[in-house]
């Protein structure tokens, strides 16, 4: 309680530097404790590993495209099978029609609308984007397409041509892959750096205060005890915030405790008046 009071006294003396220390401590805790959740939320990209050739398949919406995609994913040579919703496909059709001149588009839409009314063309499709692994043979690609046709039924599926991703897409995919692998680690590293810097800055604020307390009260290591209040507050109240993102990772909370202890150890030197 004494050190908590001293911590808030120091916050009152230097609100900016103290606030920075407190914020950086919470950021470090959240970045470590919610590493997986943050990685999925901000650095996960479906394009990350999809640098191989791909094709689209339109499947009747009466079929369960999720089950089809699941079966495709376990096939050797398939990197990813992404389901496309009916709504998304309709939007794509509208986008394609929008590319025509306005009067022509209206004409086509009317035409399609009439045909839909007459039930001559059924546009109720869902889709699947099948991405192959890189460097697989054309024969394997063809076998996968045949499997899909047989699985759904040839009259219920329309397969698009096999396309290769362009260089720009590949570059983007490489960047996405890099971010997926290193993004969250970078964020945590920055949080650690930020925390250590703010610890040094705030430590200077409380140097004289802790020196006087050590001189005139029978107390020792006052500085690290006051600084230790920050991580303790974060550990006490941080998990409440962390549940917004999901279940905190307990092991990483231990890492946080370790880093906090390491940081505090750097402040283990005896306080002096001239620090």
Nearer to other proteins, 176 or 222 (CB): 222
Nearer to other proteins, 18 or 165 (CB): 18
If binding is defined by CB under 8 A, does position 273 make contact with other proteins? yes
Transcribe 8-19 into DSSP letters: HHHHHHSHHHHH
CB of 217 to other proteins, least distance (A): 4
CB of 199 to other proteins, least distance (A): 22
**Contact present, 141 and 53 (Cβ < 8 Å):** yes
Among 82, 158, 208, 255, binds other proteins (CB under 8 A): 208
CB of 227 to other proteins, least distance (A): 18
Quote the tokens at residue 218. Answer: 């029978």
Q: How far apart are CA 36 and CA 169, in angstroms?
A: 26
If binding is defined by CB under 8 A, does position 216 make contact with other proteins? yes
- Which of these segments, 119-127, 188-196, 216-224, 230-238, binds other proteins (CB under 8 A)? 216-224
CB of 215 to other proteins, least distance (A): 7
If binding is defined by CB under 8 A, does position 16 make contact with other proteins? no
- Cβ atoms within 10 Å, residue 51: 22
If binding is defined by CB under 8 A, does position 2 make contact with other proteins? yes
51 three-class SS: coil
If binding is defined by CB under 8 A, does position 4 make contact with other proteins? no
Among 213, 222, 224, 227, binds other proteins (CB under 8 A): 213
Q: How far apart are CA 231 and CA 255, in angstroms?
A: 12
What are the residues facing 59 on neighbouring strands? 126, 157
Quote the tokens at residue 2. Answer: 């004494």
If binding is defined by CB under 8 A, does position 218 make contact with other proteins? yes
Among 215, 237, 254, 262, binds other proteins (CB under 8 A): 215
Quote the tokens at residue 265. Answer: 């150890």
Burial class (CB in 10 A: 0-12, 13-18, 19+), 222: buried
Among 63, 105, 219, 245, binds other proteins (CB under 8 A): 219
Nearer to other proteins, 141 or 210 (CB): 210
Beta pairing class for 78-84 and 157-159: unpaired
Range 239-244 contact pairs with CB under 8 angstroms and sequence separation of 24 or more: 239/33, 241/26, 241/30, 242/29, 242/30, 242/33, 242/34
Q: How many CA atoms lie within 13 A of 156 on its CB side?
A: 15
If binding is defined by CB under 8 A, does position 173 make contact with other proteins? no
Residues that bind other proteins (CB under 8 A): 2, 13, 208-209, 212-213, 215-219, 273
């Amino acid at each position: 309680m004494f050190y908590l009071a001293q911590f808030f006294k120091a916050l009152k003396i230097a609100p900016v530097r103290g606030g920075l220390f407190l914020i950086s401590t919470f950021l470090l805790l959240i970045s470590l404790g919610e590493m997986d959740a943050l990685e999925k939320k901000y650095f996960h990209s479906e394009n990350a590993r999809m640098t191989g050739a791909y094709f689209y398949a339109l499947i009747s919406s009466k079929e369960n495209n999720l089950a089809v995609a699941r079966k495709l994913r376990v096939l050797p040579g398939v990197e990813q099978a992404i389901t496309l919703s009916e709504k998304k496909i309709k939007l794509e059709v509208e986008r394609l029609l929008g590319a025509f001149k306005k009067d022509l588009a209206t004409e086509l839409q009317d035409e399609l609308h009439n045909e839909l009314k007459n039930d001559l063309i059924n546009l109720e499709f869902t889709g699947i984007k099948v991405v192959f692994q890189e460097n697989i043979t054309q024969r394997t690609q063809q076998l996968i397409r045949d499997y899909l046709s047989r699985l759904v039924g040839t009259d219920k599926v329309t397969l698009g041509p096999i396309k290769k991703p362009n260089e720009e897409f590949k570059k983007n995919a490489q960047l996405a892959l890099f971010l997926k692998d290193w993004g969250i680690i970078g964020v945590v590293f920055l949080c650690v750096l930020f925390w250590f810097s703010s610890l040094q800055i705030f430590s200077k604020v409380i140097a004289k205060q802790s020196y006087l307390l050590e001189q005139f009260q029978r107390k020792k290591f006052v500085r690290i005890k006051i600084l230790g209040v920050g991580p303790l507050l974060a550990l006490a109240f941080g998990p409440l915030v962390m549940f917004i993102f999901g279940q905190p990772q307990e092991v990483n909370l231990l890492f946080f405790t370790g880093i906090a202890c390491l940081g505090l150890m750097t402040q283990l030197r005896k306080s002096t008046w001239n620090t």
